[in-house]
Amino acid sequence: MRHLIALIIIASSIAANAAQKRPNIVFIFSDDHAVQAISALGSKINQTPHIDRLAKEGAIYRNSFCANSICGPSRACILTGKHSHINGFRRNGDFFDGSQGTFPKMVQNAGYQTALVGKWHLRSNPTGFNYWEILPGQGNYYNPDFIQMDKKRKRYEGYCTDVITDLALNWLKNDRSTDKPFILMCQHKAPHRNWSPHPRHFDLFKGKPVSEPDSLFDSYADRTKLLKENEMSISEHMFWGHDMKFRGENQHPEVFGSLPNREYQRMTDEQKKTWDEWYEPRNQLFLKDLKSGKLSEKEIIQWKYQRYITDYLKSVQAVDDGVGRILDYLDKAGLAENTIVIYSSDQGFYLGEHGWYDKRWMYEESLKMPFLIRWPGVIMPGSDSPALIQNIDYAPTFLELAGAPIPSDIQGRSLVPLFRNGGAKTSDWRDAIYYAYYENAAVHNVPVHDGVRTETHKLMWFPRTREWQMHDLGKDPSEMKSVHNDPAYAPTFAALQKRYRDLRNHYGVNSATIPATRGNQKGWRERNSQLTKNSRKGPFDIVFVGDSITQGWEGRGKEVWEKYYGDKRALNLGIGGDRTEHVIWRLTKDKQLSRRAKIAVVMIGTNNTGHFDQDPEEVAAGVEDILGLIKKNVPKTKILLLGIFPRGQSPQDLKRLNNVMINQKIRRFADGERVHYMDLSNEFLEPDGTIDKKIMPDYLHLSEAGYERWARAIQPKLEELGL
């Protein structure tokens, strides 16, 4: 009994201490470090003793996920606590709006010092940091340049992972003021492609080939047909110099892509010498075997895998060394006790699973993010949490730790209640996470998809092919066979679909408003760039914005266009098949309609109805965003918004009914000044509400007579608006 009381007193004094003194936070964050390459999380192929220390002295979160498995987006989710479609950074190459609410600014306001070193990759400069020093873009492994706070670049000779650790330690030791709590974000480039190790790790796997994952030779059967379109396979998408570290010209274009090793080009002569001494003899040996023809296709892939995985794991090793140095310093400086240390990485990575490197897909290996945390006195050493956590949770967690208020529009949840609960789920914790990947038409050719993951199952949706995919993670942890069609899983499938719909609602995901490119389709790509070019010729008297019905002014509507607009400066911005989200993309990304136009005629949305039976409310929001963009991009332009034309032969046509409802909503966007609205339905409908083929041959697109009616109907309004 006495012991118990003593324990309670100690425990409560630890808690009181923690409450009084706000903890420091060291957030060590790497790039592309998969959980399969952390020994504390079950790696079978490497040892990470220093990262493992966090697990021993703190907690691991096994069910830790990203919201969008790609670099910039993951970082934007972390900074804002919001999903990509809300924080606006959906794909690499987007520009992060650093004026929005981010946790660094908020903890700074709450009295924290904030520091950031290493990879950033959000294009805009960091905001909310007392000190920052970042890699430009992806950064380099050897002799990296860093952008300084005065925007100048500075080159550090040495190995990037070590340089970043040095800079972090230097700030801790020399630059911060000791009278305030701090958060330090130490963000490595490693082990990102092209996986360039430090010489001290060259011999790490000498004579010990790394074991291969079971799915290295995945045939991509029994899942979405889009799997086969990937361009991230070890068998086909490894580059001669860049990935495989051969020198000179690609001697085997039939086996390797051609791209030189740019890291090698950055090395000093001495670094090159050390590098060559290790790589060259091994390369020559392989090339000799390859030339002699004695290697089977399988053996070549196996060699590529070994080269890839060993370089990757060696790059990881330097990160682990860096974690060790930081933990040592915290011990020595007496900071360990009141400093929370977190290790994480922007997303996971394929280490040969499904035959891949890279990430992006919603499969476990890249959906997962490592999350290890040590918080002496609060988190029980050795805890292992099953709770589903996500990178949108980090911002609210940091805010709570700093004693700052958590804004109500943050979508993630603070993890602090879990930390205080021994990692066990609180009863109100989430039962599923939502994931969305948006990079259509990008490197590695992974399709847009989204989905949900519960503790036991995963559901994915591929809009391009309109395919569902579902996995029972207990029975099929490697996700080799979709069971969405299996009758035995019908109730689970229905439940997951409901969870998917509800979570999309919960997080405000409306694909009609999320800019989307169709750049993976050649025809679209070509027309789009043509339109972008045409739009530069402005100013215009009149511009038509829309889909195939608008594009048709160049087809069946050609002569009518000539008659009505031939003597005007008129521009057609219609692309067949476009939905609201594609027009939004065009108006933002390609800046179509950035030149002055007197009048913009907008008619869009029938494809949202036709392809997905999308909810009228959602489509209307897409139209509203388009109006907003035009208003913003081309001030003074008057907008003539047209109700979506009727479709389908009969008035009972379900898609037509959807359009009717959308029109009921969008008519309200007219303000009588900038935006004017007209519904032309009566021009195209017979008295009984049917459609005559003479007007719409396919009950969707207009005939020449149809275009005549369109032009005639809007002419008075156009004149009123100044045409």
Q: Which residue is nearest to Ca ion (CB)?
A: 71
Whether residue 3 lies in the annotated active site: no
Q: Which stretch binds ligand SGN (CB under 6 A): 51-59, 191-199, 287-295, 519-527?
A: 191-199
Question: Cα(462)–Cα(287) distance, rounded to whole angstroms?
Answer: 41
Window 227-256: residues binding ligand SGN (CB under 6 A): 242
Which one of ligand SGN, Ca ion, none is in contact with 176 (Cβ closer than 5 to 8 A by kind)? none
Whether residue 237 lies in the annotated active site: no
Kindly report the three-state secondary structure assignment for every residue of 90-121: CCCCCCCCCCCCCHHHHHHHCCCEEEEEECCC
Question: Cα(524)–Cα(575) distance, rounded to whole angstroms?
Answer: 7
Candidates 26, 27, 31, 597; binder of ligand SGN (CB under 6 A) is 31
Which one of ligand SGN, Ca ion, none is in contact with 193 (Cβ closer than 5 to 8 A by kind)? ligand SGN
Are 470 and 496 in contact by the 8 Å Cβ rule? The answer is: yes
Window 44-73: residues binding ligand SGN (CB under 6 A): 70-71
Window 437-476: residues binding ligand SGN (CB under 6 A): 443-444
Q: Which stretch binds ligand SGN (CB under 6 A): 22-30, 35-43, 161-169, 186-194?
A: 186-194
346 vs 625 by CB, closer to Ca ion? 346
Whether residue 315 lies in the annotated active site: no
Number of residues counted as binding ligand SGN (CB under 6 A): 14
Question: Cα(707)–Cα(508) distance, rounded to whole angstroms?
Answer: 37
Which one of ligand SGN, Ca ion, none is in contact with 444 (Cβ closer than 5 to 8 A by kind)? ligand SGN
Q: Which stretch binds ligand SGN (CB under 6 A): 59-67, 189-197, 521-529, 672-680?
A: 189-197
Give contact residues for Ca ion (rule: CB under 5 A).
Answer: 31-32, 71, 346
Q: Which amino acid is at 254?
A: E
Does 193 interact with ligand SGN (rule: CB under 6 A)? yes
The catalytic residue among 548, 594, 681, 692 is: 548
Which one of Ca ion, ligand SGN, none is in contact with 358 (Cβ closer than 5 to 8 A by kind)? ligand SGN
In sequence order, which residues have a C-beta less than 8 Å from that of residue 403 and are 6 or more positions away?
22, 110
Name the nearest CA neighbour of 691 among 682, 610, 708. 682
Binding mask 85-114 for ligand SGN (x = CB under 6 A): -------x----------------------
Which one of ligand SGN, Ca ion, none is in contact with 443 (Cβ closer than 5 to 8 A by kind)? ligand SGN
Are 355 and 218 in contact by the 8 Å Cβ rule? The answer is: yes
Are 676 and 717 in contact by the 8 Å Cβ rule? The answer is: yes
User: DSSP 3-state assignment of 383?
Assistant: strand
92 vs 478 by CB, closer to ligand SGN? 92
Are 385 and 418 in contact by the 8 Å Cβ rule? The answer is: yes
The catalytic residue among 201, 676, 701, 703 is: 701
CB of 232: closest distance to ligand SGN in angstroms? 7
Are 26 and 342 in contact by the 8 Å Cβ rule? The answer is: yes
Place of tokens 């017979």: 686
Q: Which residue is nearest to ligand SGN (CB)?
A: 71
- The dihedral through the CA atoms of 492, 496, 499, 505 has a sign that is negative
Write b or e for each residue in 480-516: b if 16 or more Cβ atoms lie within 10 A of its Cβ, otherwise e: bebbbeeeebeebbeebbebbeebbeebebbbbbbbb
Helix (H) or strand (E) holding 638: strand 638-642
Candidates 23, 26, 32, 271; binder of ligand SGN (CB under 6 A) is 32
**Peptide bond connecting 539 to the previous residue in cis, omega within 30 degrees of 0:** yes
102 vs 366 by CB, closer to ligand SGN? 366
Q: Which stretch binds ligand SGN (CB under 6 A): 192-200, 337-345, 471-479, 706-714?
A: 192-200
196 vs 572 by CB, closer to ligand SGN? 196
390 vs 637 by CB, closer to ligand SGN? 390
The H helix count followed by the E strand count for the chain is 22, 21
CB of 537: closest distance to ligand SGN in angstroms? 34
Helix (H) or strand (E) holding 364: helix 364-367
Residues classed as catalytic: 548, 698, 701
Q: Interface residues with ligand SGN (CB under 6 A)?
A: 31-32, 70-71, 92, 121, 138, 192-194, 242, 358, 443-444
